[in-house]
Structure 1
Amino acid sequence: MSSREIDAESGRLLNDQDGAFEWRWEPQSSDEEDGLNQDGGDGFKTPSKKLVLTAYGEEAEVPEVKEGMVFPDWEAIDVQLKGYGRQKGFCFVRRCGSSKKCTLSQEEGSGTGVVVKQRRNFMWTCECYGVPERKRKVSGDVGTSDNQVHVGSGVRKSKKCECPVHVFASVNEIGQWVIRRSLKGNANHYPTPSKSRTIASFRKKFIEDNPHVGREFEVCKKSGLRTNQVYNLMSTRRNGKAHMPFSEKDIHDYLAKRKKEKKKGGDARAMFTYFEKMKEDNPDFFHVFRQADDGRLQDVLWVDARSRAAYEEFGDVVCFDTTYLTN
């Protein structure tokens, strides 16, 4: 049997006159065999998006926004810019924009003569864009400013370091958003993917996208743990505070927000909600209230079924004076 030489690049025989030999990949295991295409092609698959390692794990790489790119609306640009900045370690913010008044036609569903404002352009900048405020404290707690940097404990800290990164987009004639100007290259600060953990908007976004983290905050808080204890407990699961995607302040802000939501409408609204629930459970439950001329709540009377039965026997009434803390 004659020896044959195979070209490493093409996979064909160098001395094959017929050219019938074709280099093919053969699966070495059952898992690789499942990766073969149904039409008999190779099992090699080219990923549609490149994966990059970020501070939050492995993610699909967000492409860079360049001049001339077209987007359906400004929200799409905002999402892509923030995703790109998050992977690089800095944050894009909407700096300024303009709008113009236009009249909606009847075909657009709002009838003729309706004047609305439509966005015409936006500029996104790095959060470190611009000049920091030069302010310091003086006697009498009066703030002054000038064009010189003050050195000392009274200097107000700022993350602005005149970074030139910005993106400008506007609407074309057919209503699409086009990138008109894009300047990349951070200056005066050095973002890295791991630094995205320290940016407030990304920390809050992480908690919003992972509701189980917020529920864990509430469970730990109900069990009697302090905020710093909750943070220390959760940091042990991530091999230290350096790997935490949120800070201790974020836990405090989340719990304060949840507490405010539960008391939305005030304690009076919460009380009447409870009365309505009691009325559904027991039809003999009775409540009534009075309001002043300016709408303020004056007094409330409520009687449950057991109290109504006891009143017929004893005739006693219990009153609560809620003004003892005010006068």
Structure 2
Amino acid sequence: MSEENDEVEIGETGLEKTMSPEETTQEPKVNMIFNTVDEVLDFYKKYANRVGFPMKKRSSKKGDFGELKYVTLSCSRSGIPQSTASNVLKPYPSIKCNCKAQLRAGICLDGRWKVNSVKLDHNHGLNPNNARYFRMNRAISSYMKRKIEVNDRAGIRVNKNYNSMVVEAGGHENMSFMEKDCRNYINKVRRLQLGEGDATAIQKYFLKMQAQNANFFYAIDLDESGRLRNVFWADSRSRAAYEEFGDAITFDTTYLTNKYDMPFAPFVGVNHHGHSILLGCGLISSEDTDTFVWLFKVWLACMSGLAPCGIITDQDRAMKNAIEIVFPNTRHRWCLWHIMKKLHEKLKSYKHYESIKFALENIVYDSLTNIEFEDRWKEMIEKYELQSNDWLRGLYDERRRWVPSFVKGSFWAGMSTTQRSESMNAFFDDHVNSKTTLKQFVEQYENALMTKVEKENQADYKSSSADIQCSTHYFMEKQAQGVYTIAKFKEFQNELTSKMYCEVVDTKEDGAFLKYQISEDMIIAGKKKSVNFTVIFHEFDSEVKCNCSKFEFRGILWRHAIYFLIKHKMDLIPDKYILRRWRKDVTRRHTKIKISYNESNATLEAHQCDKMQKTFDEIKELAADSEEKCVIVMAWMQKLKEQLSNHDNDSQNAQDSHGGMDDD
């Protein structure tokens, strides 16, 4: 015979045998007879609940052909406590106290089961009121398991997940399991998903996604030992969206996401509503030039070799080197916010720090031209004797990468900093935590994408079905209302109404061009200030340019241009000043692509549960308003339960099985 000693506490037996009152109230005795081992288990479990102690199946013995011969049921507090804590000074609590209470039973020649020995005395207190806390009474139904898994995939934390079910059940006393059971189940599911190791699990996940949509793209970088080093992926919708919104992107790796501290590296663009949009992302093991070169090359291949026109990053030198290698023709800009937030750290030791900070901010934000910036910068350096400051010298040498007057001539979709990437990182906070594994993170990417897609769909619907009222009688405002998304129309409307702050102070004619000097009243640092701009207008082709370069930077017609178009009796915005990327009246390919909602992860049982649950919910809605209807439904369900139970028993008998009660 073989013997197994798996000390596993008994949960659901799968049987609900009806016993007489006399049977359920008596104590276990030697020579008691039961038809099956399940009846023995059921009897001892009910006795344990009535007396007030937890029970478990301590051991079992099988015959040569695998048939169950003997079983020992004991109090769960049997055994000697042994701490598994790494710190011996802080041992884990243990319920074991070497309790000797137990029941042993064996199979007879006629196939029935007989109690061979019984020990009833416990060396600890008994309390029937604690029965619902005993593990043997705690079980998670298949419906609850499905609900827990779905909520976990949606990024709902375990405590909130469990509390929602407590509310639904009407209180903790009506729950068949505890929060820690919920947590343990989630951890078990995750362990099963990752049992083969991260690299293999991620690759299988990617292959599955690719099978669902051939345009799903991924790349995995392994080291010489075959260990996962870097990974990149982009869904088909993100790849299609890049065709529309890949002109200006941000990229940063300042956000650590998972238990391996692998930096999350998202490529982020701006859609037609001004929302951040994911254009693929990676998880990388280091932040050196070689790693970024690998990531950028893979991303470029994913996007059919089309490099972005502009990319915003922080001041990381490795990123800078990699961009020069992979995107030599892309305009690379540094995040202004990252630079300005370092002022205190880099300059706080100077006696006149506050004055230096104020002067530097004015120079950076208020200089309209490159020459003006350079002159004012040199003046500040000399005034405060900052010639020896290496940080400032380095910033000046790289001024073309970050100073607004140098970068405003290129299109950046209105993005001023990499805070778009940071907001995307914050968005992922709802889906991941410090214990998130790599495969879980990749799966949560899909959840985050779902939310972003839904937000875009809602904005599309709002832009197509609702309008912001025009604030003026100008035809160009009505024109903008008809073509722009709501977010971009608001921007245009603000520029239109702000033209009231503009006034021509000088006019010069230069051949076919008119050159205007315009003064705009602005509020800077809480104070009113008049700032002069130079505007050149070519009436023949309706071309207007200004040294503020706002159209080049944002892609929306700005107040100075609007002022002169209206002044020259032009009722409508020239077509070249309405960019396709901000329009609501065009169809974009990425909006037709549905992302996968990971439903293929669901088992057949889960699909069946969802199907039945939908019908059950409809029945509840129909019967909830009437006691009579409720009685009808409850009677029908009770009858259905009996039919299903009989069906299971018939199947069980046909298979000549013990219903899985053998220890595995």
Q: What TM-score, normalized by structure 1, do the two folds share?
A: 0.49
Q: TM-score if structure 2 supplies the norm length?
A: 0.27
Q: Which has the larger radius of gyration?
A: 2
Q: Name the structure with the higher helix share.
A: 2
